[in-house]
Amino acid sequence: MNLHEYPTDHRGLAVLDLDECMRRLRQVVVGRIVFVHDGEPVVLPVNHGVDGNDIVFRTTWGAKLQQAQHAHLVAFEVDDFDEQLRRGWSVLVTGKAEVVYDENEIDRLERLGVHSWAKVLDPVFWVRIRPQQVSGREIRTD
């Protein structure tokens, strides 16, 4: 679908549909997980994959894992901006995080091709975000 065919919001941004949002979530390999930890908003980049419509990523002991263990509502964002052209887009997902414990499922996720750039520390857990809301916006340049 051409960008010009998307409806616009009150700020003049193109409103991306769900298929396009999912396509863009698959297209980039780094996203940002956002959650509330000890009452404070936290945002951390992660290498992610898309499994069906779910966002998946690896993590180890820490605040990201705690969110998933307690099935907290988290947000996940991907975007891409071109400073020269002053254009860009972003996709925001909100959903509950959960740790993947099923071994067959873990085997499948390991084959998704999600590579952690940072050193991976043991033990490693897979976290799945099941989207409840997905929205995307793109800045039109004309």
Q: Which residues bind its own copies (CB under 8 A)?
A: 10-13, 28-30, 32, 34-36, 39-45, 73-75, 77, 79, 81, 83, 86-88, 90, 92, 94, 115, 117-119, 121, 139
Nearer to its own copies, 46 or 100 (CB): 46
Nearer to its own copies, 5 or 83 (CB): 83
Q: How far is the CB of 70 from its own copies (least distance, A)?
A: 14
Q: How far is the CB of 37 from its own copies (least distance, A)?
A: 10
Nearer to its own copies, 11 or 103 (CB): 11
Q: How far is the CB of 86 from its own copies (least distance, A)?
A: 5
Three-state DSSP string of the chain: CCHHHCCECCCCCEEECHHHHHHHHHHCCEEEEEEEECCEEEEEEEEEEEECCEEEEEECCCHHHHHHHCCCEEEEEEEEEECCCCEEEEEEEEEEEEEECCHHHHHHHHCCCCCCCCCCCCCCEEEEEEEEEEEEEECCCC
